[in-house]
Amino acid sequence: MMCSSFRLKSGSDDLDATRDMLMGRASTSSSPMDRLATQNLAGEVPSSLLSLSQPLVTVSTDHKFTEGPIYLHMNNELHFSDIVCDTRSILSLATWTVTSSTPNNRGNGMTLAPSGSLVVCEHTTSSLILEDKNPPTVLASHFQGKELNSPNDVVVHKTLNRAYFSDPTYGRMPGFGIERDAPLGFQGVFSVALDNPGTVRLECEKEKYGQPNGVCFFPDGKQLYVNDSPNASIDVYDVNETTGVLNNCKRFFSEIGSGKFEDGIVDGMKCDEQGNVWVTGHGGIWIIGSDGVLRGKLDIPEHVGNLAWGGPEMNLLFICASTSVYMLQTEVHGECTNEMIKRVEPCPLCRKLILGFDCGKWQSSISEHGLWPTSLKNLRELASGEGFNEYFQKQFNGNEEAYLRWKEVLMITRSEDLVKLRALVKLVQSQLLRRYVTFGGGVKEDFGVLELAAPAGLWEGKAKRDKKDKVSTKMVMRLDILDASFALGRAYSFVGDFHDSRRYYERAKEGCEEQLGRDSEKAIETTHLSVLGSGISVGERIERLRELLKRMEASLGEEDEVTFETLNSLGGFLQENGEYEEAIKVKERCLAGRIKVLGKDHRDTAGSLMGLGVFYFSTQNYKKLLEYYERALKGFETTLGKTRPSTLMTVMNTAGAYCQGFDDVRKARKLYQRALEGYEAQFGKDHRITMFYAKNLSILLKRVS
């Protein structure tokens, strides 16, 4: 069997088929995932941890010895190694396809550093490396002048920024590494600070372990588990919260099989969110409670080398077992690898927590909510695609420095044309990526949001360097890139991706203040928008907007559109804070200014009318509310048309006014029906927004009947 011939049984990104398969049901739709091999589970496991009624799924096979699984949220991928074949493979959970690369220095255990880079144990080089650059940083290769044996498994402490790894001699044996002597003379557990490579510290007595192997932290990081393969046992250490030194070692569990390789040994292990230890052993996987009591065993058809949780909800257990990688769904969730991937944002539409760019389901919010994907792979494909250069040459007469002017972008965003908006997001992202590659900047992906490392010279002579002579990565600095960041902030806000919108506004704000001045029109506008997208309290937002309004009036004047936008936002937050008297004054001032400067039939004037309607809704003045809603609706229909999101939202609000304020459900039903048809045309029948308003309409129909 050739090591390079990896065959995936099947692949699919179909949500329903995946759920059906994991739940043991017949699939309701034809899907490539239907061809994945499955088999029945066996063992004795509490139902609170795992349901034995579901199948064990083979997601990849035809390997020699799989190891080191690690799930990457930012790409929705599982990385794993084949030590014997010296290969690293990547399983995409979006397409269920496997790609592989070689050589891999017979890599074994892997984890994530807080920076998002992989930390990898290498058998061939006897090293622990950080894949932050090419060539990678060697974190540990020697102890007291002698070469390490072969780092096997590794974890990184969430707050100490320190890697802990086991160092048995397996990588110096035939098949698993390069056969050679072991000058170190003992097998230990070590640690090293990620920001201080080479400072390796021994964390246990030299003769304590025969072959230390798997390591994992308790969820709170206060304890570290270490297992010993030949002794078939697990120890637990306390972790000093300041120094990270391991102490107070206790035997946690023993007699996990015979300790003989042919029987299945204690190897990889992980903690779930409850603190249960899932460890490989005789027969498959043993589950031990945090109290040291055996809770169950799970039979696996091959010797298991390691395991790891993955998937958007961290409830898919991936099992590396000799020639295959298996998958099953657990009732408990895996402990996230580090604090970085535990940052979550609420999906702007369904309000579920987003892990990475997923709203807690197999498919990301791209397909469910119509949000545009931001995967780095996708952007690379877009950036290398044909048509972009021709577009810019035609649009700007070949002047790439003016590749995106923010006023032209405003024309698109204010039109609320969702198709153009999504195309705009694609276009700007691709050009940002191309420009950073052109200028030599670094690019990484942080859960669906691009972080662009500013290269030297990007400030045009104003680059700020830190002590290590590296350019700050907090902001993009060129004015054309600032324009693009600002444009992306607006585009994302209209598409509904408020998390990315906030990130790009903040980026543009800092750069504008640096290059154009704190009181420039663009700096003030981006400051205003970044306040709206920040996570601060309503009271803090009010104070910041009041301060910002003074700056605007002094530098831009009282009749500038940016001033009007800030007045509108300030009025909304004052209303939310219960300061009604000041809120109505601010909102009416904004409306009067827009009517004077923009006219009665301008889109922004309609927005101010809508804001006043919302105010009167909060005070239950339904007569005034309906008056302003109907004026706003007329304005939106005139400027945007009858099918744009702002128009449809005003239709819905007007329907609500008729229903709640006047109990006229027949007029409300007619307006709801109109809005529903518009949302179906914009988003489709299965979109969450459409379904939400369809439900509202059904409630109204019941009231009418």
Q: Which residue, among 224, 101, 87, 91, has the nearest Cα to 154 in the 3D structure?
A: 224
Exposed, middle or buried: residue 291 (CB in 10 Å: 0-12, 13-18, 19+)? exposed
Q: Which residues of 410-422 are buried (b: 16+ CB within 10 A; e: fewer)?
A: eebbbbbbbeebb
Give the integer Cα–Cα distance in Å for 459 and 445. Answer: 22
Only one residue has tokens 């920001």, namely: 195
Burial label for 299, CB within 10 Å (0-12, 13-18, 19+), is middle
**CA 479 to CA 482: how far, in whole Å?**
5
By three-state DSSP, how is residue 62 classified? coil
Q: Would you call 497 a catalytic residue per the annotation?
A: no
Burial of 537 from C-beta contacts in 10 A (0-12 / 13-18 / 19+)? exposed
Answer yes or no: is 67 a known binding residue. yes
E strands, 332-406, are 345-346, 353-354
44 known member of a binding site: no
Helix (H/G/I), strand (E/B), else coil: 404? coil
- Encoding tokens for residue 653? 């609000």
Residues 607 and 571: their CA atoms lie apart, in Å, by 13
User: Rounded to an integer, what distance in angstroms lies between the CA atom of residue 61 and that of residue 270?
Assistant: 22
239 strand-pairing partners:
246
Q: Could you tell me the two tokens for 145?
A: 């002048």
List of residues 6+ apart from 702 with CB closer than 8 A: none
Write down the catalytic residue from 82, 267, 358, 480: 267
**SS3 call for 436:** helix
Helix 388-396 vs helix 418-438: crossing angle, to nearest 10: 100
Q: Are 269 and 216 in contact (CB under 8 A)?
A: yes
Answer yes or no: is 134 a known binding residue.
Answer: no
Number of CB atoms found within 10 A of residue 159's CB? 11
The burial of 175, by beta-carbon neighbours within 10 Å (0-12 exposed, 13-18 middle, 19 or more buried), is given as: exposed
152 has binding-site annotation? yes
* Sheet containing 269-271: order of strands: 42-44, 294-299, 284-288, 277-281, 269-271
Binding residues for substrate: 152
Active-site residues: which are they? 267
Binding residues for a divalent metal cation: 67, 213, 267
Binding residues: 67, 152, 213, 267
